[in-house]
Amino acid sequence: MALRPLSLSLDLIARAHPGTVPDDPNALTLLSDDALAPELEAMLARRASSDGGLWVFAYGSLLWSPEFAFTEQRLGTVRGWHRRFCLLQRRYRGTPERPGLVLGLDRGGVCRGVAFRLADTDPHATLMPVWRREMKGKGYDGRWVAVETEAGPVTALTFMVNRQSDRYTGRLSDEEIAHKIATACGHLGPSAEYLFRTVEACARLGIHDRHLWSLQALVAERLRERHAAGP
């Protein structure tokens, strides 16, 4: 199925957010590697079998910025979970006053993404960079999931939203999500860029997610309004 052209663009995002935002290390409490290592060991202990290889399922920023080298990638589907902007981001691409949003897997539905195969010689060392990236802010729970691919099923590590986190928003409307994404910017850039990169990656892969496609049009509309209103 051919996808429509993207409504959102980097140029539009830059015009709506021309300034920079200083980093505030106090905006988000981060776990240390020492605190994260036992959790990763426990996750690896729950791995059913290593015969099928070491896999990570990507559905958001890992689609366009993976934290690992990989030897194979496959389009795949996870059932029982769907991709949704439901996790506040008070640092990086937002601030405590204007938090942005990032994606998480939440209950129900299905999610199309990419299963990446990683080197399996030292799973702990291989997974620690992505484990650190996703788990240090206490916004996610790691889980092994079954991923359906055309070449057969694989078991992959992925990251569900932590519903116990104070960053979890529950089910916001698309309009509420679009407003937060359009207005938020952190020291790494606007929240809208995270959305753009994810939609762009999904379009390139042939993944059509109605939630993302609707949001990028809504966010583009709000960014145009923001740019027209001036500083």
Examine residue 2 and state whether it is found in any structural domain, yes or no. Answer: no
What per-residue confidence (pLDDT) applies to 54? 94
Task: Give the number of other Cβ atoms within 10 Å of residue 99's Cβ.
Answer: 23
Task: Give the number of other Cβ atoms within 10 Å of residue 217's Cβ.
Answer: 16
Per residue in 8-42, pLDDT (tens digit) is 999 999 999 998 899 999 999 999 999 999 999 99
The pLDDT of residue 1 is above 50 = no
Nearest-angstrom CA–CA distance, 6 and 183: 19
Contact 85, 181 (CB under 8 A): yes
Examine residue 136 and state whether it is found in any structural domain, yes or no. Answer: yes
CA-nearest of 18, 185, 155, 181 to 103 is 181
Per residue in 117-130, pLDDT (tens digit) is 999 889 999 999 99
Residue appearing with tokens 């027209």: 228
What per-residue confidence (pLDDT) applies to 64? 96
Examine residue 158 and state whether it is found in any structural domain, yes or no. Answer: yes
CA 149 to chain centre: 20
The pLDDT of residue 231 is above 70 = no
CATH number of the domain at 39, please.
Answer: 3.10.490.10
Q: Nearest 5°: phi and psi at 112?
A: -95, 135
Number of domains observed in the structure of the chain: 1
Examine residue 3 and state whether it is found in any structural domain, yes or no. Answer: no
Q: What percent of the chain has pLDDT over 90?
A: 87
Contact 67, 130 (CB under 8 A): yes
Per residue in 173-188, pLDDT (tens digit) is 999 999 999 999 999 9
Nearest-angstrom CA–CA distance, 51 and 49: 6
Indicate the pLDDT class of residue 229, thresholds 50, 70 and 90: confident
What per-residue confidence (pLDDT) applies to 152? 94
Examine residue 5 and state whether it is found in any structural domain, yes or no. Answer: no
Which active-site residues does the annotation give?
A: 134
Domain that holds residue 117: 10-225
What per-residue confidence (pLDDT) applies to 3? 58
Examine residue 217 and state whether it is found in any structural domain, yes or no. Answer: yes
Examine residue 60 and state whether it is found in any structural domain, yes or no. Answer: yes
CA-nearest of 59, 128, 58, 139 to 92 is 139
Tell me, what amino acid is at 36?
Answer: L
Indicate the pLDDT class of residue 75, thresholds 50, 70 and 90: very high
What per-residue confidence (pLDDT) applies to 4? 62
